[in-house]
């Protein structure tokens, strides 16, 4: 292996996070204080989660956090490359960017596969920020992009970047023209985006919501609006992809370290009562990431997201923590890892300063190098950066084909089939019918999933 290429194997030795489903958060939501049961795998995770999700929602429009979040992102200074290189989280940002590239490439490829030559491919980048993914859309050869974000300044910067891209491409020979684009400044948790599209009848092939979807778990109505925006223009077979903090992992760390935890680059401070049960919506914490993020966020209870998404015809097809997604795609993305400088070479070339890092941040690499022979340099992330990266997960939902009911409304689930399946899973019809009582969400009161 060439010296300049990262040896990604060093990751597996710091990838020791247990599976999210064993972290005890199910019990937190359900009101069981001890998480011993979940940790040891003994006993049942069945629980008495409220059937009416609206009662757990703390929605109050006047108190919404959208303006706090918008102000934070609007005032965030755009740093140049030189500044970014000096940043303590230079590699973490690149790593996260690489993960996004891999997800976007994966689902764009699947989308292109089902298309005939010359067909358009339209994308919604929900919570697009300053347009950090524009180049990914360019490389993916999409035909149209809708960019939406609550922070006006970011949307303007995104549009300016797009204009630059377009101008540059005019001088590039042999490249297809840059996709067409429209830019919306809107709170995606409160505004129906479709009504703001140039063509409200447009069909989307892919919706992407990167590092942002968790903002909508402030309340049930906000989560519903965000999912409506993700789903309603998506064509059957189209994908909704995203990245969010893993609530299970956050709660696990909170249980181990208290309501405030983190390290020198990230800090989580809970701003809600952490005594179980945690609310399904409005479970607020402040997230600070060195120089990039400092605003309120909300835990996303994943089983609730899955149930809600079903209501909008979205079926979960993939969910992986970044650590395992990395393991899955690293071979395929090896050259991109190098190009995007997504891993730090250790020991550094030329004894370069370690950007505020301490030797303990690299103990995992030293141990790895002692055990394995032949590696003089490896690619890695510092322990502190890895702790922040491994807080996140990726997800992908696919839009189902609707069935049309007698009133001409779309229905995405065959309720009889679901009922039959539950009864047979249960072996107890009475119990199953109790669970199928409808709720605000039109989902079953299903202890093991909510």
Ligand X SMILES: C[S@@+](CC[C@H](N)C(=O)[O-])C[C@H]1O[C@@H](n2cnc3c(N)ncnc32)[C@H](O)[C@@H]1O
CB neighbour list of residue 84: distance below 8 Å, 6 or more residues apart: 90, 93
**Which listed range, 205-213, 362-370, 417-425, 438-446, lies at the site for ligand X (CB under 6 A)?**
205-213
How many residues can be counted in the chain?
Answer: 450
Comparing C-alpha atoms, which of 223, 237, 243 is closest to residue 307?
223
Least CB distance from residue 306 to ligand X, whole Å? 21
- Please tell me the distance from the alpha carbon of residue 206 to that of residue 184, in angstroms, as a whole number: 17
Among 28, 49, 188, 204, binds ligand X (CB under 6 A): 188
Q: Which is closer to ligand X, CB of 272 or CB of 293?
A: 293
Least CB distance from residue 351 to ligand X, whole Å? 33
- Three state DSSP letters for 77-114: CCCCHHHHHHCCCHHHHHHHHHHHHHHHHHHHHHHHHC
Q: Of all residues in this chain, which one has the CB nearest to ligand X in the complex?
A: 129
Q: What are phi and psi of 374, to 5 degrees?
A: 85, 0
Cis peptide bond N-terminal to 201, omega within 30: no
Task: Give, in degrees to the nearest 5, the angle at Cα 278 between 275 and 283.
Answer: 115
Among 8, 151, 432, 441, binds ligand X (CB under 6 A): 151
3-class secondary structure, 424: helix
Q: Which is closer to ligand X, CB of 24 or CB of 132?
A: 132
Say if CB 8 and CB 359 are below 8 A apart: no
Q: Which residues pair with 282 in a beta bridge?
A: none
Q: What are phi and psi of 244, to 5 degrees?
A: -145, 160
Interacting positions 112-131 with ligand X (CB under 6 A):
127-129
Least CB distance from residue 132 to ligand X, whole Å? 3
- Please tell me the distance from the alpha carbon of residue 379 to that of residue 349, in angstroms, as a whole number: 12
DSSP state of 41: T
Say if CB 49 and CB 29 are below 8 A apart: yes
Q: Is 215 in the site for ligand X (CB under 6 A)?
A: yes
Q: Is 313 in the site for ligand X (CB under 6 A)?
A: no
Least CB distance from residue 299 to ligand X, whole Å? 15
Q: Is 283 in the site for ligand X (CB under 6 A)?
A: no
Q: Is 146 in the site for ligand X (CB under 6 A)?
A: no
**Which listed range, 102-110, 143-151, 228-236, 431-439, lies at the site for ligand X (CB under 6 A)?**
143-151
Q: Is 23 in the site for ligand X (CB under 6 A)?
A: no
Q: Which is closer to ligand X, CB of 29 or CB of 107?
A: 107
DSSP state of 51: S
Least CB distance from residue 298 to ligand X, whole Å? 10
- Please tell me the distance from the alpha carbon of residue 170 to that of residue 168, in angstroms, as a whole number: 5
| Radius of gyration (C-alpha) of the chain in whole angstroms | 23
Q: Which is closer to ligand X, CB of 17 or CB of 216?
A: 216
Least CB distance from residue 273 to ligand X, whole Å? 23
Among 8, 11, 32, 132, binds ligand X (CB under 6 A): 132
Among 51, 57, 212, 382, binds ligand X (CB under 6 A): 212
- Please tell me the distance from the alpha carbon of residue 444 to that of residue 429, in angstroms, as a whole number: 14
Least CB distance from residue 434 to ligand X, whole Å? 36
Q: Which is closer to ligand X, CB of 49 or CB of 207?
A: 207
Q: Is 154 in the site for ligand X (CB under 6 A)?
A: yes
Comparing C-alpha atoms, which of 241, 235, 245, 224 is closest to residue 310?
224
Comparing C-alpha atoms, which of 302, 313, 281 is closest to residue 402?
313
Q: Which is closer to ligand X, CB of 20 or CB of 223?
A: 223
Q: Which is closer to ligand X, CB of 210 or CB of 384?
A: 210
Q: Is 210 in the site for ligand X (CB under 6 A)?
A: yes
Q: Is 185 in the site for ligand X (CB under 6 A)?
A: no
Q: Is 189 in the site for ligand X (CB under 6 A)?
A: yes
3-class secondary structure, 295: strand
Say if CB 281 and CB 58 are below 8 A apart: yes
Among 150, 227, 251, 443, binds ligand X (CB under 6 A): 150
Q: Which residues pair with 265 in a beta bridge?
A: none
**Which listed range, 9-17, 83-91, 210-218, 366-374, lies at the site for ligand X (CB under 6 A)?**
210-218
Look at phi and psi of residue 351 and say left if phi exceeds 0, alpha if psi is from -120 to 50, else beta: left
Q: Which is closer to ligand X, CB of 73 or CB of 397?
A: 73
Least CB distance from residue 188 to ligand X, whole Å? 4
Q: Which is closer to ligand X, CB of 128 or CB of 247?
A: 128
x-marked contacts with ligand X along 61-90 as a string, rule CB under 6 A:
-----x--xx--x-----------------
What is the binding site for ligand X (CB under 6 A)? 66, 69-70, 73, 127-129, 132, 149-151, 154, 187-189, 210-212, 215, 293
């Amino acid at each position: 292996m060439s010296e300049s290429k990262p040896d990604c194997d060093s990751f597996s030795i710091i990838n020791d996070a247990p599976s999210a489903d064993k972290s005890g958060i199910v019990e937190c939501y359900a009101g069981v204080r001890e998480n011993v049961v979940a940790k040891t795998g003994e006993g049942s995770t069945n629980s008495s989660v409220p059937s009416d999700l609206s009662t757990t929602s703390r929605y109050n429009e006047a108190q919404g956090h959208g303006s706090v979040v918008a102000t934070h992102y609007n005032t965030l200074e755009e740093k140049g490359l030189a500044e970014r290189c000096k940043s303590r989280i230079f590699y973490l940002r690149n790593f996260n960017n690489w993960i996004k590239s891999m997800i976007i490439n994966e689902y764009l490829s699947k989308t292109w596969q089902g298309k005939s030559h010359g067909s358009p491919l339209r994308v919604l980048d929900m919570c697009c920020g300053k347009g950090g993914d524009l180049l990914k859309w360019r490389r993916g050869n999409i035909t149209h992009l809708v960019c939406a974000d609550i922070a006006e300044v970011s949307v303007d910067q995104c549009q300016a970047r797009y204009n630059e891209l377009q101008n540059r491409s005019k001088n590039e020979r042999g490249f297809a023209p840059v996709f067409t684009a429209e830019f919306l400044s809107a709170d995606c948790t409160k505004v129906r985006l479709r009504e703001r599209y140039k063509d409200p009848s447009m069909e989307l092939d892919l919706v992407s919501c990167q590092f942002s979807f968790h903002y909508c778990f402030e309340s049930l109505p906000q989560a519903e609006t965000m999912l409506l925006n993700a789903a309603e223009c998506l064509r059957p077979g189209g994908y909704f992809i995203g990245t969010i903090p893993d609530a299970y992992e956050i709660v696990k760390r909170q249980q181990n370290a208290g309501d405030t935890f983190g390290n020198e680059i990230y800090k989580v401070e809970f701003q809600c009562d952490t005594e179980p049960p945690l609310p399904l919506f409005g479970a607020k914490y402040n997230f600070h990431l060195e120089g990039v993020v400092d605003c309120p966020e909300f835990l996303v209870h994943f089983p609730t997201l899955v149930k809600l998404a079903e209501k909008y015809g979205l079926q979960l097809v993939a969910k992986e923590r970044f650590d395992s997604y990395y393991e899955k795609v690293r071979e395929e993305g090896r050259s991109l890892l190098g190009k995007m400088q997504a891993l730090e070479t250790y020991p550094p070339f030329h004894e370069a300063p370690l950007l505020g890092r301490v030797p303990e941040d690299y103990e995992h690499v030293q141990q790895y190098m002692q055990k394995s022979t032949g590696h003089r340099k490896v690619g890695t992330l510092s322990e502190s950066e890895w702790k922040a990266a491994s807080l996140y997960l990726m997800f992908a939902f696919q839009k189902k084909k609707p069935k049309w009911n007698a009133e001409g409304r779309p229905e995405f689930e065959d309720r009889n089939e679901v009922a039959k399946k539950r009864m047979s899973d249960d072996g107890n019809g009475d119990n199953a019918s109790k669970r199928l009582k409808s709720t605000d969400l039109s989902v079953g009161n299903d202890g093991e999933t909510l």
